[in-house]
Amino acid sequence: MSNEELWQAVLAQLQFQISPANFATWLKNTYILSKKDGELLISVPNNFSKEWLENKYNKPIFRIIRELDGEIRELRYTVGAPPQQPKPAQPTQRAAVSAPPTPQLELEELKIDHATNLNPKYTFDTFVVGPFNELAHAASLAICKTPGSVYNPFFVYGGVGLGKTHLLQAIGGKIAEGFAEKRIRYMTSERFTTGVVSAIRNHTGNLMSSS
């Protein structure tokens, strides 16, 4: 079995153990870089993928590899560019399964902090983490540790009721707690766009002053 065949066999089994979103996020553009003296070296596209695979999926990956090739005794990951003609990590098509929506708290207008426009009930402690949103949740926590240095800008996409508003407001609240010098302001995309258009029309740069 070649390295490519081995890795495709691993991916074929992994896709039934993790969500489609996580499979595409963490295993896309991954491949076996080398196999020598019982060590398998896996190339990944970035450091975040490397850390996530090492901490989250290393055990199931290693178990599957051992079942396919008993000579492998060690598994390592390294960040590298994908091959010139990479094959997408989609060995088998499967039907998408709709994930149950994350329960969201009702927005109570009277409790909104008018300085930040954040609802204090939208916190990480009240956010329900599931297999369909754990990536967004992990990235959100990373942002709060070093605001502006990772995932800047941070873009979240998903269906209605999956927790987008909750996560974004939780980020704002967490940063406000840990970094008093930061200015936090939550607004809808419609309001932000209106502010940008107004600023361009009036030749002003302050988009945060509108109420």
User: pLDDT digits over 116-141, tens only?
Assistant: 889 888 999 988 887 778 888 888 99
Tell me what the pLDDT averaged over the chain comes to.
Answer: 80
Q: What is the domain count for the chain?
A: 2
Q: Which helix or strand (DSSP H or E) is residue 36 part of?
A: strand 31-36
Residue 39 lies in a domain: yes
Place of tokens 């450091």: 47
14 Rama sector, left if φ>0, alpha if ψ -120 to 50, beta otherwise: alpha
- C-alpha dihedral, 156 to 136 to 173 to 205, nearest 10°: -30
pLDDT at 1 over 80: no
Among 59-73, 114-128, 167-181, 189-203, the least confident range: 189-203
Kindly state whether residues 20 and 65 are assigned to the same domain: yes
pLDDT at 41 over 50: yes
Q: What is the pLDDT of residues 10-20, one digit of tens each?
A: 888 888 888 88
The pLDDT confidence band at residue 100, using thresholds 50, 70 and 90, is low
DSSP at 202: H
The domain that holds 74 is classified in CATH as 3.30.300.180
Please tell me the predicted confidence (pLDDT) of residue 108. 46
Kindly state whether residues 60 and 118 are assigned to the same domain: no
Please tell me the predicted confidence (pLDDT) of residue 196. 83
CA distances from 166 to 69, 119, 125, 192 (A): 44, 9, 11, 18
Rounded to an integer, what is the distance from CA 138 to the centroid of its chain?
A: 6
Please tell me the predicted confidence (pLDDT) of residue 2. 87
Place of tokens 């998903």: 158
Kindly state whether residues 121 and 184 are assigned to the same domain: yes
pLDDT at 28 over 50: yes
Residue 92 lies in a domain: no
Token code pair at residue 138: 């992990």
Average pLDDT over residues 143-159: 85
Mark which of 61, 79, 97 sits at the end of a domain: 79
Residue 198 lies in a domain: yes
Please tell me the predicted confidence (pLDDT) of residue 160. 67
The residue ranking higher by pLDDT, 39 or 24, is: 39
Token code pair at residue 55: 């901490």
Please tell me the predicted confidence (pLDDT) of residue 43. 93
Please tell me the predicted confidence (pLDDT) of residue 144. 92
Give the domain extent around 32: 3-79
Please tell me the predicted confidence (pLDDT) of residue 98. 45
Residue 197, SS3 per DSSP = helix
Average pLDDT over residues 173-189: 88
Kindly state whether residues 119 and 59 are assigned to the same domain: no
Say which residues have a Cβ less than 8 Å from residue 67's Cβ, sequence separation at least 6.
none
Please tell me the predicted confidence (pLDDT) of residue 42. 94
Kindly state whether residues 116 and 177 are assigned to the same domain: yes
Average pLDDT over residues 99-116: 58
Question: pTM of whole model > 0.85?
Answer: no
Strand order across the 39-44 sheet: 31-36, 39-44, 74-79
The residues with which 188 forms a beta bridge, in sequence order, are none
Contact 78, 42 (CB under 8 A): yes
pLDDT at 65 over 50: yes
Kindly state whether residues 198 and 122 are assigned to the same domain: yes
Contact 43, 80 (CB under 8 A): yes
